[in-house]
């Protein structure tokens, strides 16, 4: 501190050879410099401390139980106007419940590695669109619908940005926003209802998948890769329990979750490739338009440029586990 003051005196004398060391300007500058130096020394020697009794979770596992509302984002259904990706066509009345379980490992106090499994359903129908005569009318006239069970597994990484900023100062924040990204796989099986029976759609090749007349349309797989993307906030009730809420988005690489993607085909082809019974079912399901006179081979059925997806608004209960045994241990030591 003495050398810093002398240095300040030297430069001050260069500017003003007859300074008044008790002048307000001189003392304010000296005070600011002293405070800055004290803060710097304090920060360099400061140790992490717990907030509200919350301690560093590094090395601990957590068991997570999740639920929420799952919603399909694809070619079917939606809202008024042109169909758009992401949340433009989100409709709460088609939400289906999701249930899941996962485990997380706290690599430090600002990041986690997670693996989990979720079970849910999705569905949508063009008939649910509020047709106002705008761009949505052609989807309303198309009149298709589907449902599917969804089973997904994933592995991802969670980052807590505020905890990262305070990682050397605070052991654990009670409220911790987070973002998550990783890799996953999901299994689906689209169905449509015909004569009060639910029919699997993928084996019917309703857009000519696998037909020689459409060499670019290959049969799609019912198990697909996706990228999970989460954004949310976690609230630590104490050192054992926490609640999280947020949005779980999926970036998929298929446009066939709802079994439509491209154009209508010639329905007589079903009788070329299928048995008469199977062809009859396919002919009834490939088009259910309210304007059947407008349905012709090659007419656009859906927008293939936007991949299907689904989103979950979730809530998760987390239980911190003892670091040395693989099941819940209530007496978690405070460090």
User: Are 101 and 212 contained in the same domain?
Assistant: yes
Domain for residue 240, yes or no? yes
147: CB partners within 8 A, 6+ apart: 121, 122, 123, 190, 191, 192, 198
What is the maximum alpha-carbon separation in the chain? 108
User: Are 123 and 37 contained in the same domain?
Assistant: no
94: CB partners within 8 A, 6+ apart: 71, 72, 77, 122, 123, 124, 125, 128
Please tell me the predicted confidence (pLDDT) of residue 9: 46
User: Are 35 and 79 contained in the same domain?
Assistant: no
User: Are 31 and 70 contained in the same domain?
Assistant: no
User: Are 283 and 150 contained in the same domain?
Assistant: yes
Domain for residue 206, yes or no? yes
User: Are 231 and 257 contained in the same domain?
Assistant: yes
Is residue 173 classed exposed, middle or buried when 0-12, 13-18 and 19+ CB atoms within 10 A define those classes?
buried
Domain for residue 215, yes or no? yes
How far apart are the C-alpha atoms of 318 and 105, rounded to whole Å?
12
How far apart are the C-alpha atoms of 46 and 166, rounded to whole Å?
12
Q: What is the domain extent for residue 33? A: 2-45
Domain for residue 22, yes or no? yes
Q: What would the DSSP string read from start to end of 122-171? A: EEEEGGGS---SSTTHHHHHH--EEEEEEEEEEEEEEE-HHHHHTTTTBS
Please tell me the predicted confidence (pLDDT) of residue 139: 83
How far apart are the C-alpha atoms of 215 and 208, rounded to whole Å?
9
Domain for residue 53, yes or no? no
Please tell me the predicted confidence (pLDDT) of residue 210: 96
Find out whether 283 and 267 touch, Cβ atoms under 8 Å.
yes
Report the relative pairing of strands 96-108 and 111-125 from DSSP bridges: antiparallel
How far apart are the C-alpha atoms of 97 and 265, rounded to whole Å?
35
Please tell me the predicted confidence (pLDDT) of residue 67: 96
User: Are 70 and 94 contained in the same domain?
Assistant: yes
Q: What would the DSSP string read from start to end of 179-223? A: EEEEEEEEEE--EEEETTEEEESGGG-TT-TT-TT-TT-PPPPSE
Please count the structural domains in the chain: 2
User: Are 253 and 167 contained in the same domain?
Assistant: yes
Please tell me the predicted confidence (pLDDT) of residue 198: 97
User: Are 39 and 188 contained in the same domain?
Assistant: no
Residue 315's domain is classified under what CATH number? 2.40.160.20
Domain for residue 196, yes or no? yes
How far apart are the C-alpha atoms of 19 and 5, rounded to whole Å?
14
The Cβ-side half-sphere exposure at 134, using a 13 Å CA radius, reads 10
Please tell me the predicted confidence (pLDDT) of residue 33: 44
The residues of the chain scoring below 50 in pLDDT are 1-5, 7-47, 333-335
Please give the distance of CA 235 from its chain centroid, rounded to a whole number. 18
Domain for residue 163, yes or no? yes
Q: What would the DSSP string read from start to end of 37-62? A: HHHHHHHHH---B-BTTB---TT-EE
Each residue of 192-232: pLDDT tens digit?
A: 999 999 999 999 999 999 999 999 999 999 999 999 999 99
The Cβ-side half-sphere exposure at 210, using a 13 Å CA radius, reads 12
User: Are 41 and 68 contained in the same domain?
Assistant: no
User: Are 106 and 168 contained in the same domain?
Assistant: yes
User: Are 115 and 13 contained in the same domain?
Assistant: no
């Amino acid at each position: 501190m003495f050398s810093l003051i002398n240095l300040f005196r030297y430069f001050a004398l260069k500017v003003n050879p007859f300074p008044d060391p008790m002048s307000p300007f001189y003392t304010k500058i000296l005070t600011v410099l002293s405070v800055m130096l004290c803060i710097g020394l304090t920060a360099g020697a400061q140790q992490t401390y717990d907030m509200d009794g919350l301690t560093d979770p590094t090395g601990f596992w957590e068991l997570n139980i999740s639920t929420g509302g799952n919603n399909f984002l694809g070619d079917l259904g939606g809202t008024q106007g042109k169909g758009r990706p992401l949340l433009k066509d989100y409709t709460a009345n088609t939400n289906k419940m999701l249930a899941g379980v996962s485990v997380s490992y706290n690599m430090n106090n600002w990041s986690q590695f997670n693996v989990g499994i979720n079970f849910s359903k999705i569905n949508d129908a063009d008939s649910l669109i509020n047709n106002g005569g705008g761009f949505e009318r052609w989807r309303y006239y198309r009149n298709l619908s589907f449902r599917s069970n969804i089973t997904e597994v994933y592995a991802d990484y969670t980052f807590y940005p505020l905890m990262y900023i305070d990682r050397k100062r605070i052991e654990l924040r009670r409220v911790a926003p987070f973002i998550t990204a990783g890799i996953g796989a999901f299994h689906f099986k689209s169905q449509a209802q015909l004569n009060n029976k639910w029919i699997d759609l993928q084996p019917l090749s309703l857009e000519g998948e696998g037909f020689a007349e459409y060499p670019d349309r290959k049969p799609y797989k019912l198990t697909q890769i996706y990228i999970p993307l989460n954004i949310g906030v976690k609230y630590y009730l104490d050192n054992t329990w926490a609640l999280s809420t947020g949005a779980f988005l999926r970036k998929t690489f298929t446009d066939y979750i709802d079994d439509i993607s491209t154009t209508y085909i010639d329905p007589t082809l079903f009788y070329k490739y299928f048995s008469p019974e199977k062809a009859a079912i396919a002919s009834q399901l490939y088009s259910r338009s309210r304007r059947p006179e407008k349905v012709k081979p090659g007419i656009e059925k859906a927008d293939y440029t936007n991949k299907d997806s689904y989103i979950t608004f979730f809530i998760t209960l987390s239980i911190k586990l003892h670091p040395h045994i693989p099941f819940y241990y209530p007496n978690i030591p405070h460090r």
